[in-house]
A and B are shown apart, each in its own frame.
Chain A
Amino acid sequence: MSSKPLKQIHLAAHFPGVNNTTVWSDPAAGSHIDFDSFIHFARTAERAKFDFLFLAEGLRLREQGGEIYDLDVVGRPDTFTVLAALAAVTDRLGLTGTINSTFNEPYEVARQFATLDHLSEGRAAWNVVTSWDAFTGENFRRGGFLPREDRYSRAQEFLATATELFDSWDGSEIAADAGSGTFLRNARAGVFAHRGRHFDIEGRFNVPRSPQGRPVIFQAGDSEEGREFAAAGADAIFGRYGTLDAGREFYADVKGRLARHGRTHDQLKILPAATFVLGDTDAEAREIAHEVRRLQVSGQTAIKFLEHVWNRDLSAYDPDGPLPETDPLVGENTIALGRASVRQFRDPLATARQWRELARAKNLSIRELVIATTADQTFVGSAATIAGSIDALVQADAADGFILVPHITPGGLDAFADSVVPLLQERGVFRTEYEGTTLRDHLGLAVPAPASTPAPAPAPVS
């Protein structure tokens, strides 16, 4: 028997929004906008003692072939305000939101996150993402102003600046002593000055230090810059690998970078997104999973997906027929706009070649190919099988836990909460009660001490 203590698993839930996995046509699917859906989902996650709820963000409706994309769920609420409202109907659940560092200003975002942390008594987390594209920029004052190569340097400086603002109050300033008439102990609370390449700002930050000191910082991204950015300053990273080998490789790589930044192994949690399909038996789950994949990838969806890689109009192709013999158009993707996912096909010619080989080898139609390459569920099986898989991956250091993305809104988490969570608790690898009140408590992260002097912006990754 190994003497290594069991790792405790972190679990979180992603409210299914705009993506290609939500099965909105299922009769069990409800509204993705009605606040009751958010209440149901958040309370289920909290009942299951999850660490946090996660909300993604989009700042422009996706378009394809010059038209608004209409095959997936379209539309979502504003990240900050829906999280603030959720703070009213939950007590312990962490509240994580994606906020873009390109089309926002540090003073405003820092103010909103510090406020959310106060209003939730220490449950706020920020998933820092970048964007650069002119398509999204068309909705904002600055337009498509950011050169692509600058997006990480702006994100780094944005986060550094926001951190300076969070740290401009150390938490001891407010006396609120009515008798002596001293509200502030320190007349200079909130003083800041940041002079950098992207931001040149100064003044007084106007939100006092929040319960967590700073919100928990999440980062997504698999690129070299993304990994380094996360290792330098994030508290958690949204991994992409829910499998043993790829997960272990990613885990070792990212955790291995921490020491160089003066950080310890525990200071960064690796939490891949994961889908799941539960059944009474493994065989039943496999059948359901097959059906879910067919619902997620209709013939139309398959053609639209293929267009992301081919970067051209493929509407004349039969989804039940073979892949196009014509090659992808190389260069800026102009057919699918507002999608982060198209960036993952960095070499579309190679992708097309691989897919043609796969399709030929297995005799797959376009739709079958898309199902095989995109719609694979991370965990499929009975509750016991899924609990075992999750535990095994975490104990093997392929992840510290998972962010679950159900395919039904908002009830898609219920069965997991009722059947898988108790099994993880029985194994002694998942909490039966919240031990702390803040998200930092749940994730085992310390409250950061405010820097005594504002930290310099990290050097841009070159």
Chain B
Amino acid sequence: MSVSSSSPAPLHLAVALDGAGRHPAAWREPGARPAELFTARYWAGLASEAETGLLDFITFEDGLALQSSSPTGSDERTDRVRGRLDAVLTAARVAPLTRRIGLVPAVTATHTEPFHISKAIATPDHVSRGRAGLRIQVSGLAHEASHFGRRTAPFADGELYAEAADHVEVVRRLWDSWEDDAEIRNVATGRFVDREKLHHIDFEGRHFSVRGPSITPRPPQGQPVVSASGAGEASYALIARSAEVGYVAAHDGDGARAAVAAIRRAREATGATAEPLHLFGELTVFLDADAPAAAARLERLDALAGLPHGDGGTAFTGSPGQLADLLLERRAAGLSGFLLRPGVIAHDLPAITRSLVPELQRRGAFRHAYEADTLRGLLGLERPANRYARPAARPAA
């Protein structure tokens, strides 16, 4: 049918989960359950709600320091959510309770070991049969560095992102360090694995070197999905070189267009243009029946928090229909999906799954059922060949 073949691809939708929501007063809203933020029950409930809405994936936000409104260290505030659970473990905890949705925890590259991260993401990918990813981030904050005591911050942005790119490179090589059919269980020869199909990765970089192979067999997706946020040129280079999904926080269509163009240019410079790269708009949302209701709710939240919550001009306040308009319009800037941050999870997550999603479905812009059972499948990404595998003899094309 010419109509459907010429209409744009459906949108991809993901939701970022952090505490009770993006707004600092979110935890005080009805239904927020602030005393349960450190329970599995809370996170399982959110994942289940997101899956009901057929979302591509959820991200689990994280950091290696106590939350603070100050970049220099603790703000010693007592009126905001403080404390959180490790995102990678939370994603793993939720994995057996979900069936289709992607699970994408935040990982800080700056202070962690890529060897540990590689197996820590491969394992939930095994548990979920192919639904794991990660959101790589960096930390240049002195008060985070002081939790590790190895190096003294601040670090230059370029250096942090270059280290993160090396980190992801190691993680990816380790995922490939076992070929898919390395386990042979050959009773006749007594060999459990074919050691020719296990590979040292021999990475040498500025901040670390890693020999490999991984201790964990190649995950079901081959390469779980790597994502990263775009915030300036150094981060664009990381997305271009290392990610399958980049998040772009822009104030308007022009801002989004400029960021998309810059990341695409950086991508071309890597020579990796054959591999698809999703760019998602990143947006905080306050959704209500109509715009005045949403604005009134935000005003009330701001009053509770004692200050206006602008979110850098990337917040949306309005009805699900208006948000659908905005997403479809913003798509023209070159975005294939959106990472939505619910202002108040208790309110805005169900608004996304139960109002925005049906609205997008009515407009033919969102799936009616999960069409794949891996995260790569949902994102239309192929399962990549293993870089270490000798190519099988193939007839000429």
Contact = CB atoms under 8 A, between A and B. Distances in A.
A115 B97 CA distance: 18
Interface stretch (B84-92, B258-266, B329-337, B372-380): B84-92
Most buried by B among A67, A121, A184, A199: A184
A120 B198 CA distance: 34
A104 to B, nearest CB: 7
Given A74-B198, A81-B119, 14 more contacts: A25-B190, A72-B192, A77-B123, A84-B89, A87-B93, A89-B96, A104-B113, A140-B113, A183-B78, A202-B147, A203-B146, A203-B147, A206-B63, A206-B82
Contact of A208 (B38, B190, B198, B208): B38
A112 B34 contact: no
A190 B83 contact: yes
A183 B210 CA distance: 43
Given A76-B215, A77-B123, A82-B92, A24 B81 contact: no
A71 B83 contact: no
B191 A70 contact: yes
Most buried by A among B38, B77, B113: B38
Contacts of A111: 64, 86
A200 B212 CA distance: 29
B119 A84 contact: no
13 contacts: A77-B123, A77-B216, A78-B123, A80-B120, A81-B88, A88-B94, A105-B148, A107-B147, A118-B38, A169-B83, A181-B79, A185-B78, A206-B65
Contacts of B126: 33-35, 77
A183 B34 contact: yes
A346 B374 CA distance: 50
Contact of A81 (B32, B73, B115, B127): B127
Interface in B216-245: 216-217
A242 to B, nearest CB: 27
A375 interface: no
B304 to A, nearest CB: 7
A187 interface: yes
B313 interface: no
B193 A70 contact: yes
A144 to B, nearest CB: 11
A176 B34 CA distance: 6
B86 A112 contact: yes
B124 A201 contact: no
B364 interface: no
A143 B82 contact: no
Contacts of A301: 190
B234 to A, nearest CB: 21
Interface string B36-50: 011110001000000
- Which 4 residue pairs spanning A and B have beta carbons closest together? A176-B34, A81-B92, A78-B119, A204-B66
A343 interface: no
Nearest to A181: B79
A204 B65 contact: yes
Interface string A15-50: 000000000110000000111000100000000000
B35 A176 contact: yes
B97 A88 contact: yes
Contacts of A121: 39-40
B27 to A, nearest CB: 6
A82 B127 contact: yes
A98 B28 CA distance: 39
Given A111-B86, A140-B113, A300 B79 contact: no
A298 interface: yes
A188 interface: yes
B216 A141 contact: no
A183 B79 contact: yes
B161 interface: no
Contacts of B88: 80-81
Contacts of A264: none
Contacts of B209: 138, 143
A60 B178 CA distance: 13
A283 interface: no
A120 B124 CA distance: 16
A88 B187 contact: no
B185 interface: yes
A349 interface: no
B127 A75 contact: no
Interface residues of A, number: 74
Contacts of B65: 203-204, 206
B160 to A, nearest CB: 15
Contact of A112 (B89, B127, B216): B89
Contacts of A67: 195
B85 A115 contact: yes
A301 B66 CA distance: 51
A225 interface: no
A206 B198 CA distance: 38
Given A61-B215, A118-B39, A139 B76 contact: no
Contacts of B208: 140-141
Nearest to A116: B89
Nearest to B85: A115
Interface in A198-228: 199-208
B100 to A, nearest CB: 16
Contact of A68 (B37, B89, B193): B193
Interface string B118-154: 0110111011000000000000000110111110000
B146 A58 contact: no
B216 A75 contact: yes
B259 to A, nearest CB: 31
Given A80-B120, A201-B146, A58 B79 contact: no
B111 interface: yes
Interface string B1-39: 000000000000000000000000101110010110111
Contacts of B211: 60, 138-139
Nearest to A120: B40
A161 B336 CA distance: 46
A178 interface: yes
B148 A201 contact: yes
A94 to B, nearest CB: 16
Nearest to B40: A119
A200 B149 contact: yes
A201 B208 CA distance: 21
Interface string A161-191: 0000000010000101010011111111110
B67 interface: yes
Given A25-B187, A176-B35, A183 B89 contact: no
B93 A88 contact: yes
B84 A207 contact: yes
Contacts of A78: 116, 119-120, 122-123, 216
Contacts of B124: 81, 85
A418 to B, nearest CB: 25
A34 B217 CA distance: 10
Contacts of A178: 27-29, 32, 34
A24 B295 CA distance: 63
Contacts of B169: none
Nearest to B63: A206
Given A81-B120, A201-B149, A183 B80 contact: yes
A22 to B, nearest CB: 9
